[in-house]
A and B are shown apart, each in its own frame.
Chain A
């Protein structure tokens, strides 16, 4: 039995393993900040995964694939947006419908792509940084999407904290009636947030199918979308903590895979269910403090908005 897990490789693969969930979670954070609960993350992720995969295979360019994935996720999310914002359907039920429909649609779209190898996404070779000892291979030699995902986190954080747009978005999420009375278009803001969430989930899905795995299999997201939803709760709706939560989760995933490979005397099934169990455990710890949990959630989360005049 060999327990020597290389810490450099561990951190490097942790960043790759975390990126899909990181992208999906930051998108959902913006959606929830606008007061909308979209439970369709899993569906948008898997549709993004197949859109990105198919387009990348057809064009031979992963970059075009990622753009297509973002578009696919956003288009699908607009279905949710139309139903919840204009037809005022129940957000929980509509989100579930989005997931069920997305799973079916993706396996329909992906039939001819099973077993196909996607074009490989190049790893960056940043002149000086990548050559640094230890830190270089650990942090500075990933593909571009890893850094884009980090940039999105920073951008969302800055947008919500420092810009007028972010303030409006938060106002809509906290009290849609007050925001409406001030003259902001609640539905328009929410649709924008939902589309952004869909695009991010699509990117996350494509990262799974193009980089992390890289292959297309039915139902390949395997609950990643639901874990992303849990991470938003874990993060108490703060962008910085989404990063922490996603990397923590990625770390656990990579660690259990390493332990499986190392043949530790823990049953494989227990290891493979550990990410889900730990997510539940984290949810329990975060939610158990009732006052704090209630304080952080956007006040209008999940409530339908219908302007009477």
Chain B
């Protein structure tokens, strides 16, 4: 009979190994899914994980890698702080949208003035502010009225989507766009554009911000009292209360930071790769970032690696869609599967598996 025995302390080895095991298990299960869809599983897996980095057209895909990984890492870093403390902000998608709207609105307000030194920094501040304010709604409702932040932050995603539609049809619509929905293209507006810093690398200011966020989160968690409080609250909320951690401040801090980072990601996206506010501007980075945060074990360095891997599945998925006719939804299911396997294998971190004969307790 198989029995689980709780480990006295979580296993360090397994906590590093589970993401790898989960990725391999997902490749096997995903391969079965692809085979079921009538595709050659080996070819699909190679197209997704190998070709974008080492294949014939890698020079194109490598740049895309950072473009996709940037927002994922930026959002996931913010989410991981809250998740560590048991504060579940799952509405990053909404904060991402609001950051983009705020950032774009500031940029467009200055159009056609040329003053990059002023406009671009202002857009960055506005983007962070937009996401932060949107995340403050569940934060304040939780601390003031004891409302569940999971439900409120998620429901606000739908509200943000409605605002996005309204903005791209109304206030932010391009006046010279012949009535088509969508704003002016910010990439063609020199002062607001978030273009590649080095041609072909995919490196834009959003990616730089993501790297800074990784370092910032690492220092916060390992060296700062706030990071200690976050970890303490996650491990034992009661102990944290006795130690004098102010739960209200902690909730607002975690939600505020994660909202601001998601807002930044949205702002950099709208000024760079996406270029404009449009109805279908958001593509689900806010939700995929949840998987990234868990896959990275809520650790900044882990999230950096997980973000790159998840970006790879996006790019490889698109490549497989183009060359092998793999349905786009298959990648979404694949990513969801990854989170399942990760959570399943996590049991090995906290428990030992014992094969035992029936013994008297």
Which residues of A are interface residues toward B (Cβ below 8 A)? 39, 79, 83, 87-90, 92-94, 96-98, 100-105, 107-108, 111, 218, 222-223, 226-227, 229-230, 233, 267, 269-270, 272-273, 276-277, 279-280, 283-284, 287-288, 290, 293, 306, 308-309
CB neighbors of A among B53-98 (8 A): 88, 90
Contact of A226 with B332 in the complex, beta carbons under 8 Å: no
28 CB contacts below 8 A, A to B, read: A79-B340, A83-B343, A83-B344, A89-B343, A96-B290, A97-B291, A97-B343, A100-B287, A100-B291, A101-B339, A104-B331, A104-B332, A104-B336, A223-B154, A223-B155, A226-B151, A226-B155, A230-B155, A269-B166, A270-B162, A276-B158, A279-B151, A280-B141, A280-B147, A280-B151, A280-B155, A283-B152, A287-B145
Contact of B344 with A89 in the complex, beta carbons under 8 Å: yes
Contact of B150 with A111 in the complex, beta carbons under 8 Å: no
CB distance from A28 to the nearest CB of B (A): 12
Give the A-B pair count, Cβ closer than 8 A. Answer: 130
Contact of B344 with A104 in the complex, beta carbons under 8 Å: no
Return the CB mask of B322-361 against A: 1 if under 8 Å, else 0: 0000010111111111011001101100110000000001
Contacts of B162 in A (CB 8 A): 269-270, 272-273
Contact of B333 with A290 in the complex, beta carbons under 8 Å: no
Is the C-beta of B265 less than 8 angstroms from some C-beta in chain A?
A: no
Given contacts A100-B290, A269-B166, are A93 and B343 in contact (CB under 8 A)?
Answer: yes
Contact of B163 with A269 in the complex, beta carbons under 8 Å: yes
Contact of A284 with B141 in the complex, beta carbons under 8 Å: yes
Contacts of B150 in A (CB 8 A): 39, 92
Return the CB mask of B131-172 against A: 1 if under 8 Å, else 0: 000000000010001111011101111110011011000000
Contacts of A111 in B (CB 8 A): 327, 329
> Considering the chains assembled together, what is the distance between the CA atoms of A93 and B290 in angstroms?
9
Given contacts A92-B150, A108-B330, A111-B329, are A97 and B340 in contact (CB under 8 A)?
Answer: yes
Which residue of B145, B146, B350 is within 8 Å of A88 (Cβ)? B350
> Considering the chains assembled together, what is the distance between the CA atoms of A94 and B37 in angstroms?
26
In the complex formed, the residue of A with least CB distance to B360 is: A309
Contacts of A279 in B (CB 8 A): 151, 155
Which residue of B141, B294, B329, B361 is within 8 Å of A93 (Cβ)? B294
Is the C-beta of B6 less than 8 angstroms from some C-beta in chain A?
A: yes
